Amino acid sequence: MPTIAFVLWLTLLGRSTGHTILHVELVVDRGTVSRRMIDTAVAEAAVIRAPYGVDVCPAGSCMPSSGLTSRLYVAVGGHRRPDTNEGSIGAIAFASDTPRPYVSLFAGDIHELVEDAVGAKIGAGVC
């Protein structure tokens, strides 16, 4: 938990000062998901986190002028693993109480969630 509290504190500090204080480089193993979808998701994450002082960018493209840089590895797979909770669209591993920098996203489950929310089938070309 100390790591989460520290990142939260840094995020709040960035929001109050208006400065980027955390750079998150995303290394994405996109599996069968299109590059366009990944690029769109990374861009959306960057817009959402920017007001909080967090700069999200693809690995190798962050231009940190100051602050902490962290690398997050994201693997995009089909469906949730049997060892994850029903309804999960992603998972992160922990070592003791500390989150590891590895995230799994379940694209098939995300796709189904969006279809359920929209109430219609989404074309296969979306993912």
pLDDT digits 0-9 by tens, 4-41 = 555 555 555 545 555 667 888 988 888 878 888 888 88
From CA 77, how far away is CA 108, in angstroms rounded? 8
Close Cβ partners of 69 (under 8 Å, ≥ 6 residues apart): 22, 23, 24, 25, 62
94 forms beta bridges with 99
From CA 43, how far away is CA 66, in angstroms rounded? 21
- What are the helix and strand counts (H, E) for the chain? 3, 5
pLDDT digits 0-9 by tens, 28-80 = 888 878 888 888 888 998 999 888 888 888 887 777 666 688 889 998 888 88
pTM surpassing 0.75?
no
Element (H, E) at 48: helix 35-49
56 contacts 44 by C-beta, under 8 angstroms: no
pLDDT classification of 125: cutoffs 50, 70, 90: very low
